[in-house]
């Protein structure tokens, strides 16, 4: 990024400061925090500093926080305190009292936080009761009042400062053009941003120290460029990558530690008024973060700050927090037998056979997984419930005993999943949605969403194309809905400079361009956004044909097709990159064992939905312990027969969603 720095004279600096009040941006400061400090809204701050909205804030930037001639809000913290320091050269100290915060000191003693930090370089590590805080002597005498803490230990220390100079930084790139930065929008959450920029939440937090504890704030600029995925290679022509940093088991993203013990009575009171019994206190320990506390006590950031306003100045070890009691996450109430309800839409009660074959196949795989875990010593009681269809579903809820159910797998449809979540809301029983995936499900903390969204795949394809794009024409082969193709096109038009993107209905419509000067064929980029097997075969055939006509054709696919494996050598000339999920590694020992067991039991190879049934049930049962605490192991990354499971929080205190997939590159 190119920066032009102009150093203005002390005279110009003085004239500028007389007309407006400024603030020097410090480490970890955000537009939200600065606007709050000076009694502004984020929009007001951006109106006074248009470049801050376009370019983001950098340490050392000087921004306007109030205009003396305008109608903006007056603020308590002014640069006048610095003038008093340079005018008299005298400072004093105050003794930090209980409940005093940085913000409180700046308000009481009429000093900006920037000036306070100049006088106290180690301010953050000297905010314990009894610590000495240096302030301009005039401010102590004028605003300290008669309190002993405000007048004690006054000393005259000469402060030497450099002549005033202002550095005005003019940035020639905007945040949107710097691919490493992103301005947080109003409805953003960790999952949405991680998905958009193809990061894990761990990578996002590593790129933005403190973000995990402070949360996302609209208008804040964060870093979103991450390291590439760790790659493994099975041979010289095929390279497989995970979307995560590692295939190994990882620590949980969040861990819920509150639980109901066997002897703890369940409180049920009709009195809605809050009392002290509704709250607990917690002393912050070294290593705690806002995020870890939020998840430990199942509360939101707003709930924490509303009860503990001093958190606005940061989380510090030793602080005592007041926290409203929340419903604990689910844990078994008795026994070591795991009671599982499997809800499948057979449709017998409605004489609806539409999903019956899918449900029967899913059940065969799930039964094999259950028998496998039972053989290994797990005690299971599995009840299969006919979930009917979306019209008759409510009748099936009567077959669930909320007081004796530890896990619910299914149903298939979003509307039915919502009905189940409402039905077991008070019990917080874990519910697994094998296929339903929608943002209106993200608020339920006891929901586990298995289906990876297509938008995760389309975002990755956009990133992959961007790495090889050199002004080629781009063709996208769409399915009937065109939803995936439109998402990829929108992403490319946002990330690339005026790309020529064409959506076609068939691979046969992909054509090479001709160079008007030389008459030679010009290579193109081709993308498959259709998961139909015949579409995959046609796409592979077309790419092979184009590769024979000219070099440099690049191919990408959102989905796996068997044709890709049959034509590895030919497709590697186009450096085909495709995303893979629910693909069986037939050479793996685990996979061979499961496939053989399925064939012995059912005398056939498993269908697509039988594989999904096995993977979902086996993954969930292997995460359970004898206490039914499935969420304590939800952070483990596991690959089953064909599916990779890597769950992340859709939002704090929200649902877990599978973000696992693999990237395959065919290489020459």
Please write the tens of the pLDDT for every residue from 631-648.
888 888 899 999 989 898
* Closest-CA residue to 381 (of 344, 337, 411): 337
pLDDT band at 603 (very low <50, low <70, confident <90, very high): very high
Crossing angle for the helix pair 589-602 and 608-623, nearest 10 degrees? 120
| Distant-in-sequence, close-in-space partners of 593: CB < 8 Å, separation ≥ 6 | none
**What is the pLDDT averaged over residues 246-257?**
29
Q: Does residue 169 register a pLDDT over 50? A: no
Q: Does residue 476 register a pLDDT over 90? A: yes
Token code pair at residue 6 = 């102009």
Delineate the domains of the chain, giving CATH numbers in brackets.
Answer: 32-63 (no CATH), 91-142 (3.10.350.10), 181-215 (no CATH), 279-324 (3.10.350.10), 337-451+591-658 (3.40.50.2300), 454-580 (3.40.50)
Least confident of 535-549, 563-577, 626-640: 626-640
Between strands 132-136 and 91-95, the pairing is: antiparallel
Sign (positive or negative) of CA dihedral 66, 70, 75, 78: positive
Cα 326 to Cα 438: distance, rounded to the nearest angstrom: 25
Crossing angle for the helix pair 483-495 and 454-468, nearest 10 degrees? 40
Which pLDDT belongs to residue 342?
A: 96
Estimate to the nearest angstrom the gap between the alpha carbon of 284 and the chain centroid.
25
Is 133:126 a contact under the CB 8 Å cutoff?
Answer: yes
* Closest-CA residue to 291 (of 310, 276, 311): 311
Cα 510 to Cα 504: distance, rounded to the nearest angstrom: 8
130: left (phi over 0), alpha (psi -120 to 50) or beta: left
What are 407's strand-pairing partners?
Answer: 340
Which pLDDT belongs to residue 293?
A: 78
Least confident of 112-121, 256-265, 494-503, 622-631: 256-265
Q: Which helix (H) or strand (E) holds 475?
A: strand 474-478
Q: Convert the pLDDT of each residue in 84-133 to its tens digit.
A: 343 456 888 887 776 677 777 887 888 887 788 888 877 766 677 777 88
Is 10:163 a contact under the CB 8 Å cutoff?
Answer: yes
Q: Does residue 651 register a pLDDT over 90? A: no
Which pLDDT belongs to residue 170?
A: 31
Q: What percent of the chain has pLDDT over 70?
A: 75
Which pLDDT belongs to residue 431?
A: 97
What are 408's strand-pairing partners?
Answer: 341, 431
Q: Does residue 281 register a pLDDT over 70? A: yes
* Closest-CA residue to 189 (of 439, 430, 494): 439
Crossing angle for the helix pair 356-375 and 608-623, nearest 10 degrees? 40
Which pLDDT belongs to residue 506?
A: 96
Mean confidence (pLDDT) of the chain: 76
Is 639:213 a contact under the CB 8 Å cutoff?
Answer: no
Crossing angle for the helix pair 356-375 and 589-602, nearest 10 degrees? 120
Q: What percent of the chain has pLDDT over 90?
A: 34
R_g of the chain computed on alpha carbons? 30
Least confident of 17-21, 379-383, 505-509: 17-21
Q: Does residue 517 register a pLDDT over 70? A: yes
Token code pair at residue 489 = 């096109």
Estimate to the nearest angstrom the gap between the alpha carbon of 129 and the chain centroid.
37
Which pLDDT belongs to residue 7?
A: 31
Q: Convert the pLDDT of each residue in 193-218 to its tens digit.
A: 877 777 777 777 777 777 766 678 77
Q: Does residue 408 register a pLDDT over 90? A: yes
Q: CB count, 10 Å around CB of 9?
A: 12
Which pLDDT belongs to residue 357?
A: 92
74 or 239: whose pLDDT is higher?
239
Greatest pairwise CA separation for the chain in angstroms: 93
Peptide linkage before 518 cis (omega within 30 of 0): no
Which pLDDT belongs to residue 65?
A: 78
Least confident of 91-105, 567-581, 623-637: 91-105
> CA dist 377 to 333, 370, 380, 626, Å?
20, 11, 9, 11
623 or 628: whose pLDDT is higher?
623
- DSSP-assigned letters across all residues of 527-592: EEE---HHHHHHHHHHHHHHHHH-S--EEEESS--HHHHHTHHHHHTTT-EEEE-S---TT-HHHH
**What is the pLDDT averaged over residues 391-401?**
87
Which pLDDT belongs to residue 334?
A: 66
Least confident of 38-47, 337-346, 441-450: 38-47
Least confident of 286-300, 415-429, 586-600: 286-300
530 or 19: whose pLDDT is higher?
530
pLDDT band at 330 (very low <50, low <70, confident <90, very high): low
DSSP E strands in 137-293: the ranges are 166-171, 181-183, 221-223, 231-233, 238-242, 279-283
Q: Which helix (H) or strand (E) holds 426?
A: none
Which pLDDT belongs to residue 19?
A: 45
**What is the pLDDT averaged over residues 70-74?**
35
Which pLDDT belongs to residue 410?
A: 94
Q: Does residue 463 register a pLDDT over 90? A: yes
Is 628:338 a contact under the CB 8 Å cutoff?
Answer: yes
Q: Does residue 268 register a pLDDT over 60? A: no
Is 425:417 a contact under the CB 8 Å cutoff?
Answer: no
Is 656:448 a contact under the CB 8 Å cutoff?
Answer: yes
* Closest-CA residue to 245 (of 235, 253, 237): 253
270 or 150: whose pLDDT is higher?
150
Q: Does residue 321 register a pLDDT over 70? A: yes
pLDDT band at 455 (very low <50, low <70, confident <90, very high): confident
Q: Does residue 163 register a pLDDT over 60? A: no
Indicate the burial class of 504 (C-beta count within 10 angstroms; 0-12, 13-18, 19 or more).
middle
């Amino acid at each position: 990024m190119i920066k032009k720095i102009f150093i203005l004279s002390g005279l110009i600096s003085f004239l500028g400061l007389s007309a407006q009040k400024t603030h020097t941006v410090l480490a970890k400061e955000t537009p939200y925090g600065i606007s709050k400090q000076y009694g502004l809204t984020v929009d007001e701050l951006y109106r006074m500093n248009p470049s801050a909205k376009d370019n983001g804030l950098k340490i050392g930037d000087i921004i306007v926080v109030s205009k003396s001639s305008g109608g903006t809000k007056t603020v308590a913290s002014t640069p006048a305190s610095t003038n008093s320091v340079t005018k008299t050269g005298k400072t004093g100290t105050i003794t930090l009292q209980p409940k005093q915060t940085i913000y409180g000191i700046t308000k009481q003693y009429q000093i900006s936080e920037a000036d306070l930090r100049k006088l106290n370089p180690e301010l953050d590590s000297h905010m314990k009761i009894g610590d000495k805080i240096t302030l301009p002597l005039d401010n102590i005498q004028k605003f300290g009042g008669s309190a002993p803490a405000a007048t004690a230990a006054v000393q005259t220390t000469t402060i030497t400062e450099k002549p005033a100079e202002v550095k005005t930084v003019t940035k020639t790139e905007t945040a949107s053009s710097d691919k490493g930065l992103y301005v947080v929008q109003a409805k953003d959450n960790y999952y949405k941003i991680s998905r958009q920029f193809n990061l894990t939440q761990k990578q996002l937090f590593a790129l933005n120290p403190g973000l995990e504890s402070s949360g996302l704030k609209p208008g804040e600029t964060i870093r979103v460029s991450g390291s590439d995925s760790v790659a493994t290679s099975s041979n010289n022509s095929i390279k497989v990558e995970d979307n995560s940093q590692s295939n190994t088991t990882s620590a949980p993203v969040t861990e819920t530690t509150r639980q109901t013990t066997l002897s703890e009575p369940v409180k049920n009171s009709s009195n809605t008024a809050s009392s002290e019994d509704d709250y607990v206190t917690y002393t912050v320990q070294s290593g705690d973060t806002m995020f870890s506390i939020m998840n430990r006590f199942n509360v939101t950031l707003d709930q924490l700050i509303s009860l503990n306003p001093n958190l606005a100045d940061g989380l510090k070890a030793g602080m005592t927090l007041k926290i409203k009691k929340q419903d604990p996450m689910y844990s078994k109430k008795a026994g070591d037998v795991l009671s599982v309800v499997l809800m499948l839409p057979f449709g017998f009660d409605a004489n609806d056979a539409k999903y019956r074959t899918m449900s029967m196949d899913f059940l065969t795989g799930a039964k094999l997984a259950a028998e496998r875990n039972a053989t290994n010593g797990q005690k299971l009681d599995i009840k299969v419930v006919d979930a009917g269809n979306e019209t008759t579903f409510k009748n099936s809820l009567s077959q669930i005993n909320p007081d004796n159910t530890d896990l619910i797998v299914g149903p298939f449809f979003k509307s039915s999943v919502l009905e189940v979540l409402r039905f077991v809301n008070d019990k917080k029983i874990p519910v697994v949605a094998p296929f339903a995936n929608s943002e209106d499900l993200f608020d339920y903390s006891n929901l586990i969403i298995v289906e990876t969204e297509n938008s995760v795949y389309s975002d990755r394809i956009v990133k992959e194309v961007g790495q090889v794009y050199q002004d080629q024409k781009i063709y996208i082969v769409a399915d009937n809905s065109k939803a995936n193709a439109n998402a990829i096109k929108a992403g490319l038009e946002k990330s690339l400079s005026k790309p020529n993107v064409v959506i076609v209905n068939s691979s046969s419509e992909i054509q090479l361009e001709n160079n008007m000067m030389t008459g030679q064929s010009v290579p193109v980029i081709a993308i498959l956004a259709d998961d139909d097997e015949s579409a995959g075969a046609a796409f592979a055939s077309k790419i092979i044909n184009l590769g024979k006509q000219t070099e440099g054709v690049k191919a990408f696919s959102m989905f796996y097709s068997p044709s890709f494996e049959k034509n590895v050598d030919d497709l590697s000339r186009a450096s085909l990159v495709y995303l893979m999920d629910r693909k069986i590694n037939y050479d793996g020992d685990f996979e061979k064992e499961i496939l053989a067991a399925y064939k012995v039991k059912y005398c056939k190879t498993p269908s697509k939905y039988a594989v999904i049934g096995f993977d979902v049930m086996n993954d969930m049962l292997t995460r359970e312990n004898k206490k039914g605490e499935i969420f304590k192991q939800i952070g483990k990354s596991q690959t089953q027969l064909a599916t990779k499971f890597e769950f992340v929080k859709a939002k704090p205190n929200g649902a877990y969603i599978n973000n696992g997939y693999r990237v395959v590159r065919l290489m020459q």
